[in-house]
Amino acid sequence: MMTVADIVGRIGRVARWEPDARGRLAEAALELYAERGYEQTTVADIAGRAGLTERTFFRHYADKREVLFGGPMPELVEAALREAPAGEGALAVGRLAMLAAAGALPPERRPFARKRQAVIDATPALQERELLKLDSFARLIDRALTARGEEPAVSRIVAETSVALFKVAFAAWIDGDGGNDLTTLTEGAFVALGRVSAG
Amino acid sequence: MMTVADIVGRIGRVARWEPDARGRLAEAALELYAERGYEQTTVADIAGRAGLTERTFFRHYADKREVLFGGPMPELVEAALREAPAGEGALAVGRLAMLAAAGALPPERRPFARKRQAVIDATPALQERELLKLDSFARLIDRALTARGEEPAVSRIVAETSVALFKVAFAAWIDGDGGNDLTTLTEGAFVALGRVSAG
């Protein structure tokens, strides 16, 4: 089976936190969302807190929501699906896609991800946006598996199950003590599914 | 294993369509949502189309969104979780909960469910509400399994996977030719999971 390192290597991209204008804006936005609430924070507030202009903000993010949803995860999922070896079974392909998603959140991103999650948990509209994002990954996996010749029923089940397992791993990563990285937790969820559905 | 008929029998409730004021209001609402769009339809429009007063509308539904989300599914899921026999494994309990959800939508509800889905598909805010509803079922299952002494990781994986399988069955029920009822499709999704995760 391919590892996430293989995938990241193949697509020549490493998702990492860059402490530049983009990163400063994201940190400032999260601080303000946590302090005042998401709704009460404006782009001007965020730019001000980061010591940058609104124009700079809009060079990096389309709007204040994109600060929370503008990460490389969808591209990494798509790349993993494109690059998944022809011989892999359906669940193995779903697993590769979700390991690629996990690769978008290396350990050093955990403090940001935790703050982001706290903001999302406090804002129903953002919770719904987050669910819709996960749902879009299921649709990507479903489409890729169907294109690989899997039965539609199998494609859908694997797609939804893979995303469900990633959700579980992500929650464990956010809520846990940081001892396990997201990739390990995602692997673990796929292994646990095998145990649960056999037992 | 318990069947959905056992569950429905135990809780003494049969979810069925009642062609009374409540049913007429729901039909009128769906017609109008399909014709004009959900946002452009008012409660007054719905009551008028059904030949009833707004006051009657509000005796049956809190608002125009509840027409789409006011079914008995959450109660049936909760009842199934409460009534699940002590000896059942985690995935068997998740399966019972989702079979109970399927029991809220007997074959005669399919025309309504299909129209409802078309409205939801056309309205992003409703899609998000629908995802949030499914997510709430996962939280109910997770909580029930943890209360039964399952490991938290197992509870979460089974909860999310069960809801994922129900989503797949529901989509197949809506998109298919109606040859299989939702209960059969839900059973089938759980069986297919076993095959997919073994293969």
Residue B169 in any domain: the answer is yes
Nearest by CB to B160, which of A129, A157, A167? Answer: A167
A-chain CB neighbours of B154 within 8 Å are 192, 196
Q: What pLDDT does B63 receive?
A: 93
Residue A199 in any domain: the answer is no
Q: What pLDDT does A14 receive?
A: 39
pLDDT at B1 over 80: no
Which amino acid type is present at position A178?
Answer: G
* Residue-wise pLDDT tens digits, A123-173: 887 888 898 899 899 999 999 999 999 998 899 999 999 999 999 999 999
CA dihedral A75, A77, A80, A86 (to 10 degrees): -130
- Say if the Cβ atoms of A164 and B164 lie within 8 Å: yes
Three-state DSSP string of chain B: CCCHHHHHHHHCCCCCCCCCHHHHHHHHHHHHHHHHCCCCCCHHHHHHHHCCCHHHHHHHCCCCCHHHHCCCHHHHHHHHHHHCCCCCCHHHHHHHHHHHHHHCCCHHHHHHHHHHHHHHHCCHHHHHHHHHHHHHHHHHHHHHHHHCCCCHHHHHHHHHHHHHHHHHHHHHHHHCCCCCCHHHHHHHHHHHHHHHHHC
Q: What pLDDT does B2 receive?
A: 56
Q: Record the tokens describing residue B103, joined without a space.
A: 């029991």
Residue B198 in any domain: the answer is no
Name the interface residues of A facing B (CB cutoff 8 Å).
Answer: 89-91, 124-125, 127-129, 131-132, 135, 153-154, 156-158, 160-161, 163-165, 167-168, 171-172, 188-189, 192-194, 196-199
Angle of helix B152-175 relative to helix B90-103, nearest 10 degrees, comes to 30
Task: Please give the tally of structural domains in chain B.
Answer: 1
Q: How much is the pTM?
A: 0.79
Closest-CA residue to A66 (of A101, A36, A118, A29) = A29
Q: What pLDDT does A88 receive?
A: 93
Q: What pLDDT does B46 receive?
A: 97
Mean pLDDT for the stretch of residues B36-60: 95
Mean pLDDT for the stretch of residues B94-115: 95
| Domain around B27 | 4-10+17-192
- Say if the Cβ atoms of B131 and A132 lie within 8 Å: yes
Cα of first residue to Cα of last residue in chain A, in angstroms, is 24
- Contact between A2 and A85 under an 8 Å Cβ cutoff? The reply is yes
Residue A81 in any domain: the answer is yes
Which of B162, B185, B197 is the best residue to mutate to test the A interface, defined by the most A CB atoms within 10 Å of its own CB?
A: B197
Q: What pLDDT does A46 receive?
A: 97
Residue B68 in any domain: the answer is yes
Q: What is the DSSP letter of A178?
A: S
Q: For chain A, 199 residues long, give each residue's pLDDT as a single digit of tens.
A: 556 566 555 544 434 444 589 989 999 999 999 999 999 999 999 999 999 999 999 999 999 999 999 888 999 999 999 999 999 999 999 999 999 999 999 999 999 999 999 999 998 878 888 988 998 999 999 999 999 999 988 999 999 999 999 999 999 999 988 889 999 999 999 999 988 887 5
At A83, which CATH number? 1.10.357.10
pLDDT band at B108 (very low <50, low <70, confident <90, very high): very high
Cβ neighbour number for residue A15 with a 10 Å cutoff: 16
Q: What pLDDT does B8 receive?
A: 52
Model-level ipTM above the cut of 0.85:
no
Residue with tokens 């025309």: B111
Q: What pLDDT does B124 receive?
A: 81
